[in-house]
Amino acid sequence: MAGNNRISKKDRQEKLKDVMKEDPFKNDEELAKDFGVSIQTIRLDRMELGIPELRERFRNAAEGNYDKVRSMVGAEIVGELIDLTLGEQGISILEPNEEMVFKKTNIVRGHHIFSQAESLAMAVIDADVALTGVANIKYLRPVYLGDKLVAKAEPVRVRGNKHFVHVKISVKQRQVFRGKFILVSLSMDMDDEDSE
C-alpha cells in the first residue's frame, strides 16, 4: 500500500477498515508503514472510525475466552487469549517486553515462547486439571523485542487421559516455533489415586 501515490483520506479510511477486518491486531506503526503515512495520521483515522487502540482490541477479543478455560486460571495463560473453543482450537498473542529479552541482542528468551505455547496447549484441552507429560519442541528462528507472537493450538487426539496438542507460533505469518505436547489430565481427587 505504501508508495508515492497519495490516496484521499476517505479512500485510506475505507482501506483501513478492510485491513482491520483482515488483521485486527496490526499496531499503529505497522499500519502507518503500510499506508505510507505518519503514526499520528493512523491514530486520527482510527479515532474517527471508532477503531480502538491495540490493547483495547486485545481486551475486547479476550473477553469471555478466559472464562472457558478449565485446566488453569485464565490469568496463568502467557499472552492474551483472543480465541478459544475447548477441545478444538485456541489463539493467543504475546508482545514481549524488555524483561523477556537478552539485553545484548534483544532476542526473546526461549522459555517465554515455550510458556506461551504450553499455557495455550493447556487452555485448549477440555480437562479440569492437566500437566505437561511430554513436549517435543523446535525453535525455528529468533524472535526479537517488538515482534508480535501469534500462537495457535489444536488438539489432535485424546487417548485415555492423554491429550495430544500441536502448537505453532508465528511472527508476521512466519513460523518461529512449533511444539507437540502430550498433556495428562488428572482427577480432581488426586489424593485417592495411586502414584506411578
Tell me the pTM.
Answer: 0.69
- What does the pLDDT read at residue 96? 95
Q: What angle do CA 82, 84, 86 make, to 5 degrees?
A: 165
Confidence at 7, pLDDT banded by 50, 70, 90: confident
Is residue 196 over pLDDT 70?
no
Q: Which cell is 108 given?
A: 526473546
pLDDT for 71-126, tens place per residue?
A: 666 668 899 888 888 899 999 999 999 999 999 999 999 999 999 999 999 999 98
Q: Under CATH, which number does the domain 64-192 receive?
A: 3.10.129.10
For range 161-170, the mean pLDDT: 97
pLDDT value, residue 27:
82
Average pLDDT estimate for 127-149: 95
Domain chopping of the chain, boundaries: 10-51, 64-192
The DSSP secondary structure of 4-41, one letter per residue, reads S----HHHHHHHHHHHHHH-TT--HHHHHHHHTS-HHH
Are 150 and 113 spatial neighbours (Cβ–Cβ below 8 Å)?
no
Res 136: pLDDT: 98
- The matching CATH number, chosen from 2.60.40.10, 1.10.10.10, 3.40.50.2000, 3.40.30.10, for 10-51 is 1.10.10.10
